[in-house]
Copies of this chain bind each other. A is one copy, B any other.
Amino acid sequence: MHVQASAKIELPSYLPHQSPAPVFEGPTTPVSFFPAGAEIYAQGEKAGALYQVEFGAVRIYRLLADGRRQISAFHLAGETFGFEADATHHFFAEAISATGVRVFRTPCGMDMSRQLLPLALRGLTRAQEHLLVLGRQNAIERVAAFLVEMSERQGGLQQVELPMSRNDIGDYLGLTIETVSRVFTRLKEKCVIRLLSLRSIEILKRDTLLAMAE
């Protein structure tokens, strides 16, 4: 549900000047269904296909030998994921909730660069911005940044749906679930947010939240 501003977005000259939100054409691929927690692909597997979220949500993550997990990205409805620099997946992809995914197996020899580059660049920017959060922000700032990000990705509405668990949020922000929970409590106490349910929050003071996220 990525709201694309209707205003023209200026692009660097090396990008193709066409539809900014590429839609993959060709014979309509059937939508694969993944129940909550199901693996879409695993690290080390052969890569090649592209995936577009139809509904639900996906987490992309990596594991350390001792089980520590870092979620590098969440993908919501409409977003594309699965591209890799070589023929091997370097990350795991799992359905967070019941999720429908359209799988595109690009025919060999077909060049998808024009469609993929903008997506790859957006992913790169997002990852680099996330580096700032993980490297230099404290717990409150991280959670605030996360809530702002999720809100903006859902159209900037007051009410934000969080399809992922506190555990997922922690592993995305480099925090433990206890710390995430404590920060949520503090934000509630300060009346910055309100919990409609466990997975649904309302932003009461957007400005404060933005200031917290720096």
Interface, chain A (partner B; CB < 8 A)? 9-17, 47-48, 50, 60, 62, 64-66, 68-70, 72-73, 83-88, 90-91, 105-114, 116-118, 120-125, 127-132, 134-137, 171-174, 214
Using Cβ atoms and an 8 Å threshold, which residues of chain B touch A10?
A: 86-88
CB distance from A51 to the nearest CB of B (A): 12
Contacts of A137 in B (CB 8 A): 64, 68
Instruction: State the Cβ distance, A152 to closest chain B Cβ, in Å.
Output: 15
Chain multiplicity (copies): 2
Complex interface: chain B residues within 8 A of A47 (CB): 12
The complex places the Cα of A12 from the Cα of B118 at a distance, in Å, of 17
Contacts of A130 in B (CB 8 A): 131
Contact of A120 among B60, B64, B90, B120 (CB under 8 A): B120
Known: A120-B124, A124-B120. Contact between A12 and B87, CB under 8 A?
yes
- Across-interface contacts of A85 in B (CB, < 8 A): 118, 121-122, 124-125
> Using Cβ atoms and an 8 Å threshold, which residues of chain B touch A112?
14-15
The answer to whether A135 touches B12 (Cβ under 8 A) is: no
